[in-house]
Amino acid sequence: MSETPRRFVTKDEVRIQELPWGPHHWLCRPDMVDAKDLALVRVHMPPGTGHAFHAHPTMEEIIYVVEGKAEQWVDRERRELEPGEIAHIPPNVVHASYNPFDTTLVFLAILSPADLGGPPPVDVSGEEPWCSLREAE
Amino acid sequence: MSETPRRFVTKDEVRIQELPWGPHHWLCRPDMVDAKDLALVRVHMPPGTGHAFHAHPTMEEIIYVVEGKAEQWVDRERRELEPGEIAHIPPNVVHASYNPFDTTLVFLAILSPADLGGPPPVDVSGEEPWCSLREAE
């Protein structure tokens, strides 16, 4: 961090991370701005991909849909979220996001606290009931 | 709060608050979902309006532009933010958002913690240097 902390993150300053469920455009992280309680990433999820069932042991999260449509799960509850709609996920609650639709899904993942160095996400996608939930529909 | 906490906020469930600088569409608050660390509101700011210089004593904030363009100030630094760009505002740092442009500015204000019952925003818009900053340009 420079002596004058950065207060803005514009298009050219976004940090891009490639993950199997699409590029992640990081907008707010402790290594980018003076963030302590808030992290923000914009995910561009191509059709036919998804971020399977997982939980964050110590982080609270909001999913905000910007473009396209999300098949969003929180616990055993499923919704199709449109632009401007959200899911709220308390710490330790299992959730998943899928894009079974024709266009790229763009959503914001808002996380608290900002420190991403805490306990990593727990992948439960291979365990019951999570591995059978989508088939059961 | 019902026994099963609400995990989704869809279009019809948004809570609207009218303020002088435009309607606020609340998406995440402790009285809507089980939020502790994250609050989220979408502000629809008409041309010619603004939220003048103020500070939140105990809240960290991100401004994320969704549509239109923001004249965004953090401390004495000014940027024009476009869709997909952010400002990060630590607690107690003075900031302001204006829309001097021709189209409605839509932005998200992301706040932590979620409890809006803490110390209220401090309006410094009548004090130096804040009251002279925009004229000085």
Whether the Cβ atoms of residue B87 and residue B63 lie closer than 8 Å to each other: yes
The verdict on a CB contact (< 8 Å) between A88 and B8 is yes
Angle (CA) A98 A102 A103, round 5°: 80
* A118, pLDDT greater than 80: yes
Contact flag B62-A40 (C-beta cutoff 8 Å): yes
The CA distance from B85 to A13, in Å, is: 9
Beta bridge partners of B130: none
ipTM for the whole predicted complex goes beyond 0.90: yes
pLDDT in tens, A17-51: 999 999 999 999 999 999 999 999 999 999 999 99
Q: What is the mean pLDDT of residues B32-57?
A: 98
Asked if A110 and A40 count as a contact pair (C-beta separation under 8 A), the reply is yes
Name the residue facing A40 among B35, B75, B110 (closest C-beta). B110
Taking CA–CA distances from B8, the nearest residue in chain A reads A87
Q: Give the residue from chain B lying closest to A42, CA to CA.
A: B84
* Superfamily name with CATH number, domain A12-133: Jelly Rolls (2.60.120.10)
Nearest beta carbon to residue A112 from set B11, B38, B82: B38
Nearest to B86 among A27, A36, A86 (CB): A27
Q: What is the pTM of this model?
A: 0.96
What mean pLDDT is predicted for residues B54-75? 98
Determine, for residues B28 and A81 on separate chains, whether the beta-carbon distance falls below 8 Å.
Answer: no
A86-102 pLDDT, tens digit each: 999 999 999 999 999 99
- Candidates A71, A88, A92, A115: best to mutate against B (most CBs of B within 10 A) is A88
pLDDT of amino acid A105: 98
Find out if CATH 2.60.120.10 is the number for domain B15-133: yes
Nearest to B90 among A34, A61, A88 (CB): A34
Residues 6+ apart with CB under 8 A from B117: none
Question: How far away is chain A from the Cα of B116, in angstroms, using its nearest Cα?
Answer: 15
Nearest Cα to A71, choosing from A88, A46, A50?
A50
With beta carbons under 8 A apart, name residues in chain A contacting B79. 8, 10
Residue boundaries of the structural domains of chain A: 12-133
